[in-house]
Structure 1
Amino acid sequence: MIDTKSKSRLIVDDIFYKAKDKVILDGISMTSKSGQIFAIIGQTGSGKTTFLNMIAGRQTPDRGSITLNGKQFDKRLRRNMAFVQQTDVFFSQLTLRETLEFTAHLRIPEDVPTSKKMEKIDLIVKYLHLEKCIDTVIGDIFTKGLSGGEKKRASIACEVLTNPDILLLDEPTSGLDSRTAQNIIEFLQKYAIQNDKLVILTIHQPSSKIYHMFNRLMVLDDGKMAFNGKRQQAISYFTELGAQFETHYNPADYIMEFVSDADSEMKEAIFSKVGAKTRQCVPKFMELNGKIQQTAFQKDYYEDSDTDSLLEETRVKLLQESDIENGHLPKVISHDKNDNKWPTNWCTQYKMLSIRSIKQTLRILKQGYSLVQCLTVAVLCALLYFRIGVSIKTSRDVYGLIFFYVGYWTFIPAMTVIASYGQERVVVVKERASGAYRLSAYFMSKLTSDLPDTFLLPGIMYILFFWIGDFGGASEFFATLAIMYLQTFCCFGLGLFLSVLCHDVRMAITSLFSYLISMYLLGGFFSRNVPYWMEWIKYCSIFYYPYAFTISVMTARLEDVPCNSTLAETFPGCLDNSTSIVTPEHILADGNVSLRLHTLLIIMIAYTIVIRSAAYIVLRVKNDKLV
């Protein structure tokens, strides 16, 4: 049978929350214990999700307290809680199996054998009827994947897999057909009773059958309680207030209609009545809870006395099933929890996060859109600069091509990160809120996940036009390719920095383009006659250093050329007779390059480190918002 020592009692007392000038929650209280489904219903905007966020610790109330078994419900206790959001957020290119395996390896303690983790996955998939789509990608607006109902069940599966003592669900049936919604609530009922867990959910408009699966019910309207108590007492409660219920019709519909259509005087009466009742009950529960802590082993105080006969019959039946059927839900899902702050160590977190991100990146690349774009631009550049070589006469053309390449692989990486991070961030927020992994492990995995994009497409494009254009030998190729890779890696960091700095994607894009267009113009190529008081700006340009390094390497082997072999206007020294030959130094000066190779390299490495470090610092400073 169920071990009573694992049972939980949650008490929420007098929660008040105000956003700007609007009261969102006004004096909300509740009590619930393990083995129950506590449902919160109400119209849109009644405060259901905000109240759930308060319990989850994602928002802080202005007044009130939340306790679990008589202890303040702090971050440590919330590690044994799971939250299924209304919006299902995943990495879109991973299959359901990979998503569940990732969750198991990352959020189940490492001392649990892998075979047992896989057994948990198989059983949960079975009970949520996800067998047919286990190897289907999650999908997004561009990729066909799981349906809405399958995504919702996948979200629940990921959270149930971690064996939480308290499971919070925000609108778990929203957008689902009636049969799928019923299956989900039936699963939650089994999960709560057989595993002795507390399930708290918000639901907008439950069907009659779903309504009768609830143990306790709270009705919210405009942030206030219209009812709070046993579900089976709701009909008599609202009948006393004047509501009329017809037999064989959904009680939830009548309750919602009665509360929403009530005039201000009636609503005040409703709120006053339920408030007085709650003010009497909550202190008694809190007093009882204190006594429970002292006599937990002397009395099974969790014997469910507030269920009607039908619900009690269901409960007994489900408990018998869990004892009789070998390998049933509670025996497979449950696992011991460790007392560490994190379920897994840093290396495991980094490894799993890196694998997931790299899979996501590679499968996006596999779709081919980025490759087609890259090859199109590369072939055009190769045709335009076919066998042009590097010489005095072609130097300006080479400068232009190199500056174009640097610019292309500055804009593209930064924009790629900004475009994708908005979707990734909601997944990270959800996982970090559950205490799944360290921020440092996530950040380092981002560095690793950039590598396929850093090496593959930029390398393909550079190989094509470098060799077709005949811009040098092997030494020039590898030296300049390395600096181009460094530039691309740096720009992925720039995109990440702006993404975490600006939560609004439009602001991140505006900031990126404002900076890059300005630096592109002043990066040392487009204008050679820059006013003396603006010459220093090129050293702030992210384009200048890879551009200067590359043309320095490509022109290093050029031989000196007499002035009469080239246009005097191109090199001022020839025009004023201060020199009779044109050296590589003159060519570099014409390209606005004045720093030496080692200086350029050091500055680029420093630039990359500073950008990445700044991104991590911003993440750390904004950690309260990320969590």
Structure 2
Amino acid sequence: MAVASTHSDTDVERVVKYTASVDVEKRAVAEAHLINTTVRNISWKGATVTVKDRETKLPKNIIENVEGIVEAGEICALMGPSGCGKTTLLNMLASRPPPTTSQKTEGSVLVNGSTPSRAAFREMTRFVEQDDALIGSLTVRETLAFASRLASTSALPRRERIARIDGLLDSFGLREQADALIGTPLRKGVSGGQKRRVGVASQLITSPKILFLDEPTSGLDSAASWEVVNYLKGVAKRNNLIVIASIHQPSSSTFNLFDKLLLLSAGKPHYFGPVAAVTAHYESLGHEVPLHVNPAEFLLELVNIDFAAHRAEASQRLGQLQAAWTASPRAKDLAAAVADVEAAAGGRGAAVVAQVDDVAERKPSMPSLVLTLIHRSFVKSYRDVVAYGIRLAMYTGLAIMMGTVWLRLDADQASIIPLTNAIFFGSAFMSFMAVAYCPAYLEDYFQFVKEKHNGLYGATELIISNFFIGIPYLFLISIVFSSISYWLSNFQPTATAFFTWVFWLFLDLLAAEGLVVFMTSLFPTFVISLALVAFANGLWMSVDGFMVQPTILNVFYKYVFHYWDYQKYVFENMMVNEFADRVYACARTGPGEGDCMWQTDLADQCLIRGQGVLDQYGYEPGYMGKDVGIMMGIIVGYRIAAWIVLKLKK
């Protein structure tokens, strides 16, 4: 190809590595893509983030006038004391939405000297969280494979995607762990350092040009930290990748792996430039790094005044250090370099943006994304017992307990109240125990947050896939529970009545799981979501018609909660299913005589028509179709409510 001679040897290595198994024509297309979307640098100037001070209510800068430039193949560290604004600056550089509407940002972030569109910037960048969300029941290879399928790489031939995955496994030293699980609370997986490498590799599968990492070494020992950063450095050099990582108190060996350093304190820049030159800068200011002392620790102590004995003096010294940096030749050279990049960009930066926008158009379709998410959730569901395995075991135990407590109830009036109690218990507690789904959905939620920020998919795909993956498992749970408890308790012994019971129990579980998804999306904290789901189910149990009959229920609860309580429709139709077509014997007081607790038209035969029981609740048969429609509306309504919550959340 004529254009091939214009790019670097590193680009050639990338093309060869990822397209070795592709035919010549497809290889040429892939090579042209890599060439035309080469990112040479990222720069920022005047980066300022302002929030409203909680005490004074006045604007307060948490990041102030920060500049920097990082070239392709370089790895840059954002370092500073806790609370200095590292993560805030990283989020701004990554164009992530602010956590609150009161947070305002100023300044510009340029790629090749030009401002890319939001879609283009998303396509060329990836962000790795401090606590990177990974699905523990997937293997390392599956994690990369699903990341590939959710991204624009799904448009590539399957062999090329596999080649990319294999290349990343080799690049990050994960070949031997390729088939190992990430790890769940119940099943041990890969180590912490390997998990961090998997998190980074899963973002690199889409061949981004810029990678942002928030505390990639947090929680790791010095050896594992060095390992992670060393792999990052190698990948950046080989692939002309730009890496910007916030980091807290690295070891000296890890610190020296970085090419550039941006040192912050109180939101202001104190140094930007080569790591190798930072000690010379501070020596020129009279702060020499002592022998045998980690330079990173020395710098952090120097710009940290949180624990200073004399805070006023320390603040004054910190201000002098910051002013010295602003007036330094290196700071002036940095400002000139950023300006030169922007001035020299011309149309070249815009060309990159146009190329990336073309790639963005080849993203997977919504049906393709939904199917991929369903596939991933299916793998998780049968491997991770927390998802449905524990619930199935729990419901099976509940069925055995219910069936043996309400054991073989006779068709007489003494069994009517126990049968009513059993109907309530079977429906209400099946719904209540759906709280066990909270931890499994939380894992999906945090995975969604990460992948949404990286532009892979949105709330629609998550809600649809989550709904469909639950259907077969909830139906299986309904069948297993009913097969045990229904016949042991001796409910109406007909196949039609049995499958009607199963159907309503299935709708009950669908609605209950929808409630869990809605509440957990609204408050994605385990304890809070668990408490809210439990409270909501307690409310539904109180007003569903069993505790207080609908005919005498308080007007407020009847019209505010009762009619959109899904347990109400389940309990009502299970009662109709049991009593509408069944007859019960009265207590015999003598030959041909009996004492009937419910007076119906069969009293002269010492029998009770089941409708007499239903009359106390105001229930009539013949409304099943309408009630099914209402239940479907409630089930879909919970999912739509969860979708709205996810769409509105930033």
TM-score between the two structures when normalised by the length of structure 1: 0.85
Kindly state the Cα deviation for residue 246 of structure 1 after the two structures are TM-superposed: 4.2
Kindly state the Cα deviation for residue 284 of structure 1 after the two structures are TM-superposed: 2.6
> 1:497–1:109: structure 2 CA closer, same or farther, 3 Å change rule?
same
> 1:613–1:8: structure 2 CA closer, same or farther, 3 Å change rule?
same
Q: Does 2:362 correspond to 1:273? A: no
Kindly state the Cα deviation for residue 191 of structure 1 after the two structures are TM-superposed: 1.8
- 2:457 match: secondary structure: coil
Give the whole-Å Cα distance in 1 for the aligned partners of 2:347 and 2:63. 35
In the TM superposition, what whole-angstrom CA distance separates every residue of 1:447-469 from its partner, at most 9, and x where no partner exists?
A: 02212431222321111011223
> Which among 586, 600, 612 is matched to residue 612 of structure 2?
586
> Which among 192, 206, 227 is matched to residue 236 of structure 2?
192
- The equivalent of 2:89 in structure 1 is 51
- The equivalent of 2:251 in structure 1 is 207
- The equivalent of 2:277 in structure 1 is 233
**Contact 1:28–1:225 (CA<8 Å) still a contact in 2?**
yes
**Contact 2:43–2:67 (CA<8 Å) still a contact in 1?**
yes
Give the whole-Å Cα distance in 2 for the aligned partners of 1:387 and 1:507. 40
Kindly state the Cα deviation for residue 176 of structure 1 after the two structures are TM-superposed: 2.5
Give the whole-Å Cα distance in 2 for the aligned partners of 1:539 and 1:556. 22
**Contact 1:13–1:282 (CA<8 Å) still a contact in 2?**
no
Give the whole-Å Cα distance in 2 for the aligned partners of 1:607 and 1:53. 38
**Contact 1:41–1:48 (CA<8 Å) still a contact in 2?**
yes
The letter for the 1-side match of 2:629 is I
> 1:83–1:506: structure 2 CA closer, same or farther, 3 Å change rule?
same
**Contact 2:43–2:111 (CA<8 Å) still a contact in 1?**
yes
> Which among 588, 591, 600 is matched to residue 627 of structure 2?
600
Q: Does 2:563 correspond to 1:539? A: yes
- 2:384 match: secondary structure: helix
Give the whole-Å Cα distance in 1 for the aligned partners of 2:407 and 2:347. 87
**Contact 1:571–1:590 (CA<8 Å) still a contact in 2?**
no
Q: Does 2:355 correspond to 1:285? A: no
Give the whole-Å Cα distance in 2 for the aligned partners of 1:531 and 1:211. 69
The letter for the 1-side match of 2:476 is L
The worse-fitting range, judged by mean Cα deviation, of 146-155 and 88-97 is 88-97
- The equivalent of 2:544 in structure 1 is 523
- 2:49 match: secondary structure: strand
> Which among 439, 443, 452 is matched to residue 423 of structure 1?
443
**Contact 2:521–2:642 (CA<8 Å) still a contact in 1?**
yes
In the TM superposition, what whole-angstrom CA distance separates every residue of 1:39-98 from its partner, at most 9, and x where no partner exists?
A: 122222222122111111224443222122233254222321011222132112112121
> 1:249–1:435: structure 2 CA closer, same or farther, 3 Å change rule?
same
Kindly state the Cα deviation for residue 341 of structure 1 after the two structures are TM-superposed: 4.7
Kindly state the Cα deviation for residue 470 of structure 1 after the two structures are TM-superposed: 2.9
The worse-fitting range, judged by mean Cα deviation, of 400-409 and 607-616 is 607-616
> Which among 134, 147, 162 is matched to residue 191 of structure 2?
147
- The equivalent of 2:115 in structure 1 is 72
Give the whole-Å Cα distance in 1 for the aligned partners of 2:169 and 2:190. 14
In the TM superposition, what whole-angstrom CA distance separates every residue of 1:155-182 from its partner, at most 9, and x where no partner exists?
A: 1111122211001122222333333332
**Contact 2:407–2:489 (CA<8 Å) still a contact in 1?**
yes
- The equivalent of 2:300 in structure 1 is 256
> Which among 488, 491, 500 is matched to residue 509 of structure 2?
488
Give the whole-Å Cα distance in 1 for the aligned partners of 2:191 and 2:357. 33
In the TM superposition, what whole-angstrom CA distance separates every residue of 1:476-515 from its partner, at most 9, and x where no partner exists?
A: 1112211211111111111111122234444434433333
Kindly state the Cα deviation for residue 286 of structure 1 after the two structures are TM-superposed: 4.2
> Which among 119, 125, 130 is matched to residue 169 of structure 2?
125
TM-score between the two structures when normalised by the length of structure 2: 0.82
**Contact 1:101–1:121 (CA<8 Å) still a contact in 2?**
yes
> 1:389–1:103: structure 2 CA closer, same or farther, 3 Å change rule?
farther
- The equivalent of 1:358 in structure 2 is 378
> Which among 457, 461, 466 is matched to residue 446 of structure 1?
466
**Contact 1:342–1:435 (CA<8 Å) still a contact in 2?**
no
**Contact 2:150–2:369 (CA<8 Å) still a contact in 1?**
yes
- Superposed counterparts of 1:560-579, under 5 Å: 567-571=595-599
> 1:16–1:567: structure 2 CA closer, same or farther, 3 Å change rule?
farther
> Which among 411, 414, 418 is matched to residue 397 of structure 1?
418
> 1:382–1:417: structure 2 CA closer, same or farther, 3 Å change rule?
closer
- The equivalent of 1:619 in structure 2 is 646
Give the whole-Å Cα distance in 2 for the aligned partners of 1:40 and 1:600. 59
Kindly state the Cα deviation for residue 14 of structure 1 after the two structures are TM-superposed: 1.8
> 1:106–1:544: structure 2 CA closer, same or farther, 3 Å change rule?
same
> Which among 570, 573, 589 is matched to residue 549 of structure 1?
573
Give the whole-Å Cα distance in 1 for the aligned partners of 2:257 and 2:548. 74
- Superposed counterparts of 1:284-323, under 5 Å: 284-294=336-346
Give the whole-Å Cα distance in 2 for the aligned partners of 1:487 and 1:396. 22
> Which among 75, 91, 95 is matched to residue 37 of structure 1?
75
> Which among 91, 99, 104 is matched to residue 143 of structure 2?
99
- The equivalent of 2:30 in structure 1 is none
Kindly state the Cα deviation for residue 232 of structure 1 after the two structures are TM-superposed: 2.7
> 1:510–1:33: structure 2 CA closer, same or farther, 3 Å change rule?
same
* Identity fraction in percent: 24
- 1:163 match: secondary structure: coil
Give the whole-Å Cα distance in 2 for the aligned partners of 1:210 and 1:456. 52
- 1:245 match: secondary structure: coil
- The equivalent of 1:307 in structure 2 is none
Equivalent residues, number? 583
- The equivalent of 2:457 in structure 1 is 437
The letter for the 2-side match of 1:87 is D
Q: Does 2:404 correspond to 1:383? A: yes
Kindly state the Cα deviation for residue 600 of structure 1 after the two structures are TM-superposed: 2.3
- 1:31 match: secondary structure: strand
Give the whole-Å Cα distance in 1 for the aligned partners of 2:505 and 2:347. 69
**Contact 2:80–2:248 (CA<8 Å) still a contact in 1?**
yes
Give the whole-Å Cα distance in 2 for the aligned partners of 1:540 and 1:295. 59
Structure 1: unaligned runs, 5 residues or longer: 298-334
Kindly state the Cα deviation for residue 580 of structure 1 after the two structures are TM-superposed: 10
- 2:269 match: secondary structure: strand
In the TM superposition, what whole-angstrom CA distance separates every residue of 1:201-246 from its partner, at most 9, and x where no partner exists?
A: 1222233333333222111112221111232321221011111134
- 1:601 match: secondary structure: helix
> 1:551–1:295: structure 2 CA closer, same or farther, 3 Å change rule?
closer
Give the whole-Å Cα distance in 2 for the aligned partners of 1:294 and 1:506. 54
Give the whole-Å Cα distance in 2 for the aligned partners of 1:479 and 1:485. 10
- 2:64 match: secondary structure: strand
Give the whole-Å Cα distance in 2 for the aligned partners of 1:296 and 1:600. 63
Structure 2: unaligned runs, 5 residues or longer: 1-8, 12-34, 54-59, 99-103, 306-312, 350-354
- The equivalent of 1:156 in structure 2 is 200
